[in-house]
Amino acid sequence: MIQYFKKPNLGKVERIEESTFKKHPEKLEALLVKGYVRVMSESDDSEYKEPSMVKKAVKKVTKKIKK
C-alpha cells in the first residue's frame, strides 16, 4: 500500500510504500519534521483519516443477512 505525503506550501507530493516505513521508521519522522502531512491520495489533498471500524462491522452484518 502506498502512502501519500504533501508539503502544503510547495504542493509537492511524496509517494512511499508502507513496507519502506516498516524497514525504516525514521523516514516517517523525517517527513513529519520537514512539514509534510499525510493526505488521502495524489489528487485528494484532504488529510488522511483512518477507516472507521464501525463501517466494516455494518458491512459484515449486512452480508450475513443477505445470505
Q: Rounded to two decimals, what is the model's pTM?
A: 0.65
Query: Does a structural domain hold residue 66?
Result: no
Query: Does a structural domain hold residue 9?
Result: yes
Query: Does a structural domain hold residue 3?
Result: yes
CA 22 to chain centre: 14
Query: Does a structural domain hold residue 25?
Result: yes
Query: Does a structural domain hold residue 65?
Result: no
All three cell numbers of 38, joined, read 499525510
With a CB cutoff of 8 Å and minimum separation 6, the contacts of 65 are none
All three cell numbers of 32, joined, read 513529519
**Domains held by the chain: number:** 1
Domain that holds residue 17: 1-45
Mind listing the pLDDT tens digit for each residue in 6-51?
988 887 888 989 898 889 989 989 988 999 998 888 877 778 777 7
